[in-house]
Amino acid sequence: MFGDRVKFWVTMNQPNLLAKFAYMNGWFPPGHCSKPYGNCAFGNSSIEPYIVGHNMILSHANAVSIYRNNYQETQGGYIGIAVAARWYEPLRNTTVDQLAVERAISFNVPWFLDPIILGDYPAEMRKILGPTLPEFTLKQKKKLHATKLDFIGLNHYSTWYLKDCIFSSCEMDPMDGDARALSLAERDGVPIGKQTGAPFFYDVPHGMEKVVMYYKQRYNNTPTYITENGYAQASNSSMTAKDFTGDTERIDYISGYLTYLVSAMRKGADVRGYFVWSILDDFEWTSG
């Protein structure tokens, strides 16, 4: 219906977040989880997220196959997938925290893009999860190989410090606990960046260049779009229209991130576009 006008297609948006939010933490429908990640009526946080992720990857491959075989040649479009791309810095300049960063990265974007682009899950995931992580059949691997991405979509907002939880005791981290790591916004009481209106996002513009350059190297400089990046403005009932429109912090945030994105492009990253999220106020998943 829209193929004559729409030339860029994303099969899924942030499936790596949805799998965790809905089947590990139980924050989103259908609200599945188990201890220590949560206390839901149903679910198994150690198994279900990876089954769900596996099926998402296979459904992505099916969608790409259908588009390639039936529409792409006549419509002249492109197809890819958009993933949430968190970035991390080691909490301490130690080997264990640096290894924790590598694990957390593997459990983030590469969880989905490694099978799609490289043919299988990251070795770090396989080492930690063992047989819990599903296997791709030979037929499925062939299909993944035959349905390569035209582009990668990266949704990037913030960077976190990361602490190792294999050799150190940690509280349970609902986002990075499966990588045996703990993400933190502060080091020695100093925030990693200025907090935005969204309490889980901080203004850390250099993370944009690092995340883009990392995936440039990992995925052979596949054409990339920043499919989401933007600033959440804090609000309260006493704010006036002037307060809302005088959003200089949003300007500073976007300017900083674009500066580092341009730096990555000058270093050879094949970035084709950038989208601000969002042009209007929105209802953010389960929180208005």
Tell me the pLDDT band of 197, cut-offs 50, 70 and 90: confident
Q: In this model, does residue 65 exceed pLDDT 90?
A: yes
Strands 159-164 and 186-187, bridge-based pairing? unpaired
The conformation of residue 150, written as its DSSP 8-state character, comes to: S
On whether the CB atoms of residues 31 and 40 are closer than 8 A, the answer is yes
All domains of the chain in start order, with CATH: 8-279 (3.20.20.80)
- pLDDT confidence of residue 15: 98
CA 92 to CA 264: how far, in whole Å?
25
Catalytic residues: 228
Q: In this model, does residue 254 exceed pLDDT 80?
A: yes
The pLDDT tens digits for 94-148 are 999 999 999 999 999 999 999 999 999 999 999 999 999 999 999 999 999 999 9
| Mean pLDDT of the region 23-41 | 95
Reduced to 3 states (helix: H, G, I; strand: E, B; else coil), residue 230 is: coil
Measure CA 161 to chain center.
Answer: 16
Question: Looking at this protein, which amino acid is placed at residue 50?
Answer: Y
Strands 271-276 and 202-203, bridge-based pairing? unpaired
Tell me the pLDDT band of 207, cut-offs 50, 70 and 90: very high
